[in-house]
Amino acid sequence: MKTSLSILSLLLLLTGTATLPSTAAAQSPAQVQRDPSKLHLASGSALLIDLNTNQELYSNHADRVVPIASVTKLMTAMVVLDAKQPMDEMLTMTIANNPEMKGVYSRVRLGSQLDRRETLLITLMSSENRAANTLANHYPGGYPAFIKAMNAKARSLGMAHTRYVEPTGLSTQNVSTARDLAKLLMASRKYPMLSELSTTREKTVAFRKPNYTLGFRNTDHLVNKSNWDIKLTKTGFTNEAGHCLVLLTRMDNRPVAMVILDAFGKYTHFADASRMRQWLETGAAKPAPAVAMQYKAERQNKGRLAAE
């Protein structure tokens, strides 16, 4: 009897109809908890969230209120999409109503025209300031109504420590926290166009009146790397804000939202993103350069002195 049962069990296994023991089934996809002390980032603030569970995987000064530079433009684009204006409407490029725009260089010619969709594209993909400001000026109710809508949207998303005074991020008064920006990232998943436009690698855009073309590239070079799966991105930089990066991507076989604020150096925010990914997937990460860590320490000391 035992022999026949053994033969039957073997046949069931070979045909794939046997039921695996519950202990084996229980071994799949539980994620390994990582030690935060093994990750040393050069950024002033950082946050990493598992979008499947909303669990915070890593947090460092996530509630610190800081300038956010051109990460602002993610909210700018969201408010434009909420208004549901025609994407093919031609917009006249302008720096009106924004004192921060005076003297800021741009290849885009004032008075030339571009449709709203392409204006959104170069706002998100290449962080074009004149494009962002133009979107605000062509909003129902005009520029003041647009800024009001940005702040109303932030409140509706629970971004309690966020404030916008203009649509580009040039102003240091555009402030937020890593935690607030993670809320913005999570809300952005409901806007497919934000994903499409922000991850476009490059595009040549045709303006009218006068007719000319300009080539634009993505400010986030991670979108060009085959080992990254970027769903949405926005970079930012001013001297006061440092280098900033927000991402929706996949790490360790799960979707995540990542926020990195106030990094030193042209590539440190991208390197910190890679360090965070390496840590999540392996449990350890390469150290940040000493000069970047020194910058972080100096910024933190400056912040403590200002608070006293």
Amino acid at 109: R
DSSP H or E segment with residue 15: helix 2-15
Asked if 127 is an active-site residue, the reply is yes
Instruction: Tell me the one-letter amino acid at 145.
Output: A
Known catalytic membership, residue 22: no
Helix/strand/coil percentages in the chain, nearest 5: 40, 20, 35
Helix residue ranges per DSSP H, the chain: 2-15, 22-25, 72-83, 116-125, 129-137, 142-156, 178-188, 192-198, 268-282, 290-307
- Classify residue 85 by its DSSP letter: -
φ, ψ (nearest 5 deg) of residue 292: -70, -40
Which H helix or E strand runs over 10? helix 2-15
Amino acid 174 reads: N
Of the residues 43, 45, 73, 231, only one is catalytic, namely 73
What does residue 276 show for φ and ψ, rounded to 5 degrees? -65, -40
Neighbours of 252 (CB within 10 A): 15
Buried b (16+ CB within 10 A) or exposed e, 25-45: eeeeeeeeebeeeebbbbbbb
Active site residue 171: no
Q: Which of 43, 127, 176, 188 is catalytic?
A: 127
Q: At 202, give phi and psi (nearest 5°).
A: -165, 160
Catalytic residue among 43, 70, 126, 171: 70
Please give the positions annotated as active site: 70, 73, 127
